[in-house]
Amino acid sequence: MSHLFGRWVEEHEAEIEELKYTFRRMRQNPLSLLGLSIFVVFVFLAVFASYVSPYDPIVQSLPERLLPPSLAHPFGTDELGRDLFSRVIWGARISLWIGIMVISLSVSVGTIVGVLAGYLGGRFDELFMRITDMFLAFPMLILAMAIAAALGNSLENTMLAISITSWPRYARLMRGQTLSVKEQLYVEAARSVGASKARIIFKYILPNCLAPIIIESSLRMGGTILSASGLGFIGFGAKPPTPEWGVMISQGRRYIMSQWWISVFPGVAIFIVVLGLNFLGDSLRDILDPRLRRG
């Protein structure tokens, strides 16, 4: 067993050294540690929401409606007597799910389109780049609203709408990276010995283009959560009594002058999560981008 482990370490020595470098750089940057800590707490709350939340997030208790923050209800209660602290915690699960699904779908589509357009070139490149230009010509949130309205008002359709408006950015980024990488000597060498296009793309081009995609997706995840919350605020996406942060803010706007906690605490949760993801994305950019590496 120890022999197999030692062999595995030797085969993955470069990857292990890269991980060590990444963690060493993150320890040197207080903002990256802050962003990582916020993200870890966010994931913890999402995964263990059923254990962390003190109340059921959708159970109503009208005698306890509109209570201010207290020891029994740290974030107060809403207009139906539901515990806001529990609803904010469960909202973390929904926001994480939205962020992961939207980023996964948009990155997958954008990566495939971008790498094929950059490597094949010609009419394929021209066709798909003009399609991406059409999507990028519209404001992202407005286009997402139109697509969500056309597909039908549901959380799944809202995630799909945001994904449809997000993939062109990844396609543009991957195309540019592919145009640069496909001219490298190792790609030319693989092509000269008769390697197939699929082998060149998956073995030589994609692995060397992933760093910018990882950086972009980490920076965009906060914006994705913000966009989903914005669409929820105006009535797209999750429906009551689902504890989604944007919907909670929208429901509390009628009471903002007197029962401010109904809208403020979900808004603070969005602010903290997006800020943490932006800190984490900035640190990953500094670590993974070779042009920004120092020491």
Check whether 96 has a pLDDT greater than 50.
yes
Tell me the per-residue pLDDT of 191-246, one tens digit each, with 9 for 90 and over. Answer: 888 888 888 888 888 888 887 888 888 888 888 998 888 888 888 878 888 899 99
**Would you say 92 and 40 are in contact if contact means Cβ atoms under 8 Å apart?**
no
Q: 67 lies in a domain?
A: no
Q: What is the pLDDT of residues 106-145, one digit of tens each?
A: 999 999 999 999 988 888 888 888 889 888 888 888 888 8
Residue 271 resides in a domain: yes
Phi-psi label, residue 81: left if phi above 0, alpha if psi -120 to 50, beta otherwise = left
- Domain coverage including residue 139: 16-58+73-292
Which CATH number is 286's domain given?
Answer: 1.10.3720.10
User: Percent of the chain, pLDDT > 90?
Assistant: 36
In a domain, 38, yes or no: yes
Is 45 within the bounds of a domain? yes
Burial code of 164-183, b = ≥16 C-beta within 10 A, e = fewer? bbbbbbbbbbbbebbeebbe
Q: How many domains does the chain have?
A: 1
Please say whether the beta carbons of 177 and 212 come within 8 A: yes
228 located within any domain: yes
What local confidence, expressed as pLDDT, does residue 284 receive? 77
pLDDT of residue 261: 94
Tell me whether residue 151 is in a domain.
yes
Q: Which residue has the higher pLDDT, 274 or 191?
A: 274
Residue 8 lies in a domain: no
Question: Which pLDDT score is estimated for 290?
Answer: 54
Prediction pTM value:
0.84
pLDDT class of 12 with cuts at 50, 70, 90? low
Whether 68 is in a domain gets the answer no
